[in-house]
Amino acid sequence: MSTPHTIIEQYQERVTDLKTQLHQIKRKAFSYSMVRFVLFVGLVFSVYFYVRQDYPWMLLLISVAVVALFLYFVKVHANIKYRQSIVENRVKINENEIAVLRQEASFLPDGTSYHEEDSYSADLDIFGPRSLYHLIQRCFSEPGRKKLAGWFLHPAFDQASIESRQAAVAAIKDKINLRQDLLAHGLAQFTEKDLKFFPDKPLITPSTFRKIKIIRWIPPVIMLLSIVGALILSNSNMILYGFLLNIILTGMFLKSTMQVMQRADHTLKNLKNYNEPLRVLINPDYQNQLLDLRKEKLVDIHHNLSVLQKRYNLLENRNNLLMGLLLNGFFGYDFIALSLLKKWYDENASKIPGWLEEIAWFEALFSLGTFAYNNPAYTFPRLNRSMGMDGENIRHPFIPDEENVGNALDYTLPLKVILLTGSNMSGKSTFLRSLGVNQVLALTGSVVAADRFHTGLYDIQTSFRKADSIQEHTSLFYAELKKLRHIITTLETSERPVLILLDEILRGTNSDDKYYGSKQVLLRLKEQSAMTMLATHDIALASLEEDHGPVIQNYSFESQIRDGELHFDYKLHQGVAVNKNATFLMEKMGIIT
């Protein structure tokens, strides 16, 4: 089995190979740019001598040939530059994977904006710098990032759907080229944070389009008559006059054209940029029922976006001054391009949201595939509809393997409440977060940080970090009460069993109130359809096992003082913690003597 170190070596080899490719592509791009320059100079001289009437017909033919060659090399050079950007992105992607595996931050967005106040996202570090989302997210578009965030926060709770997604993740886990190609093409196409579409607004106003429908035929007719006149009168200037007349005609609609271009930039530019990522997605044979079924939808989307790309490029070509002048002078190009683009938009605007949803699904899934590839020691969990959670070597995905201490857990009925005691820094909170994060991953369809993990379809409720709020006039204690009330309300309304993870509740009150309140909360929770785990320093609560075992049981994390140093094994033990370390730490730091 691969290890994180061998995975890093694989990424390093890819970076070396890609940098060699990049050097070769840059040399090729420079050569083609020089050819373009020479052709442009030749075109300038041809036009100059044509205007002087030296060999006009011959120079006209030469100019046309040079223009054709110039446009060809413009296209070839653009393709080479695009290939260069793809290889540059691949280098960046592989270097990013190395950084992430070395516990450094990913360059991709961390999802801070997706945090929901009443959810478990803050307690479990789902979003934000160095979060679970930041660790896994490999999406190039805002819809893709939102899709992945939705999977983390609002899972389907459908066993069949989750297991189908697991199979899909397994199918693409080792397809590293495919996953990186999708992200590389996506990053090359999308530079804006948000995709903005306005399907309810017309691309071209009806009054403007009525005029364009009539006028679009005039420039080709003018040029045809000019060519005929030049042949009959043996006067090549007739073509020049027709050319100038068409320029004037298209110039009269320049303001409307620019307005449409501006609106198209908002509505269609990013949409047509999906075409290259889609080309990546529709090529492989996934050999997975769910992926192949969804690929069929992508083929239709790709066809429609290919048409859009061609029509949008027609309009965008006018931004090249030389090309815009030539095409408008000969054909009234703006009118043709606008008409074709409007026709596509009217036929497809209502389908856009559904298309984005399909592509976003693949982006999110490929993120899970990369996470699985980067962590070969992780496993897919087994889901069941009954209460309980058990596993082996359960650990936290944020902690490096060489430091990560796994734990076994057998949390099955009749056990419903675990009281987790232990000294400071012994691992109680980390263990709770390990269970919570792995439960989130399990419901997402991802691999989990465990050798074995069996769990139910739990709604997750947590109470770890609460803070006072001056703006809301809320004390720390009251904020915690509001959180507990939210958990109770969820229990009473949820159609699913609930996994409740609590870390030292009722911290803002005196010890008597804290003990009594915590006891009553636990007694209420044990009667619910829930599995509850409370980490606490209040050893008195351990007596609940005597009256309510085996429904309530004690587990602990221990610390030991050896040779004047504090030692932790970070292992879960059955029973109540017996060792304390607060006084020792204060003495060691010189706070007390």
Q: pLDDT for 100-117, tens place per residue?
A: 999 999 999 999 999 998
Residues 344, 443 share a domain: no
pLDDT (average), residues 525-540: 92
Same domain, 393 and 301: no
Domain boundary among 374, 396, 421: 374
Q: Any idea what the Cα angle at residue 178 is, between residues 174 and 181, rounded to 5°?
A: 135
pLDDT for residue 470 = 42
Q: What is the mean pLDDT of residues 255-282?
A: 79
Residue 415: name the closest of 533, 495, 536 by CA: 533
Edge-to-edge strand list for the sheet holding 498-503? 459-463, 498-503, 530-536, 417-422, 552-562, 565-574
Q: How far apart are the first and last CA of the chain?
A: 52
User: What is the token pair recorded at 26?
Assistant: 């840059």
pLDDT mean across residues, the chain: 84
330 in the same domain as 465? no
Q: Which residues of 259-289 are buried (b: 16+ CB within 10 A; e: fewer)?
A: ebbebbeebbbbbbbbbbbbbbbbebebebe
- Is 593 part of a structural domain of the chain? no
pLDDT at 355 over 90: yes
Please count the other Cβ atoms lying within 10 Å of the Cβ belonging to residue 13: 11
Domain end among 353, 374, 395: 374
- Same domain (yes/no): 93, 126: no
Which pair of tokens denotes residue 212?
């364009």
Q: What is the DSSP string of 126-175?
A: -SSTTSHHHHH---SSHHHHHHHHHHHHS----HHHHHHHHHHHHHHTT-
Quick one: three-class SS letters along 3-22? CHHHHHHHHHHHHHHHHHHH
Structural domain boundaries, residue 122 = 109-131+146-155
Cβ atoms < 10 Å from Cβ of 119? 19
Domain assignment present for 240:
yes
Whether the pLDDT of residue 194 is over 60: the answer is no
Mean pLDDT of 349-376: 95
Show which of 312, 345, 374 is a domain's final residue. 374
Residues 401, 416 within the same domain: yes
Domains: count for the chain = 4
Same domain, 386 and 481: yes
**Mean pLDDT of the 371-379 span:** 97
Judge if 293 and 169 occupy the same domain: yes
Q: Are residues 578 and 436 in the same domain?
A: yes
**CATH number of the domain bearing residue 480:** 3.40.50.300
353 and 428 fall within a common domain: no
Arithmetic mean of pLDDT, 240-258: 72
- Percentage above 90 pLDDT, the chain: 50
pLDDT band at 590 (very low <50, low <70, confident <90, very high): confident
State how far the Cα of 31 lies from the Cα of 34, in Å rounded to an integer. 5
- Band of residue 518 on the pLDDT scale cut at 50, 70, 90: very high
- pLDDT of residue 73 exceeding 80, the answer is no
Q: Using the predicted structure, report yes or no on whether residue 205 has a pLDDT greater than 80.
A: no
| 496 has pLDDT over 60 | yes
Q: What is the CA radius of gyration of the chain?
A: 33
CA distance 136 to 313: 35
pLDDT band at 508 (very low <50, low <70, confident <90, very high): confident
pLDDT of residue 79: 82
pLDDT tier at 471, thresholds 50, 70, 90: very low
The better pLDDT of the pair 385, 147 is held by 147
Whether the per-residue pLDDT at 469 is higher than 50: the answer is no
In this structure, are 330 and 438 located in the same domain? no
Exposure of 347 in the CB half-sphere (CA atoms within 13 A): 10
Q: Is residue 315 part of a domain?
A: yes
pLDDT at 364: 98
**Is 141 a member of any domain?**
no
Task: Note whether residue 138 is domain-resident.
Answer: no
Tell me the mean pLDDT in the region 550-560: 91
Mean pLDDT on 122-144: 95
In a domain, 519, yes or no: yes
Residue 544 falls within a domain, yes or no?
Answer: yes
**Same domain (yes/no): 113, 93:** no
- From the list 457, 402, 405, the residue with the least C-alpha distance to 434 is 405
pLDDT greater than 70 at residue 332? no
- 239 and 387 in a single domain? The answer is no
pLDDT at 212: 64
Q: Is residue 284 part of a domain?
A: yes
Percent of the chain scoring above 70 in pLDDT: 81
Q: What is the pLDDT of residue 143?
A: 92
Question: What pLDDT does residue 516 have?
Answer: 92
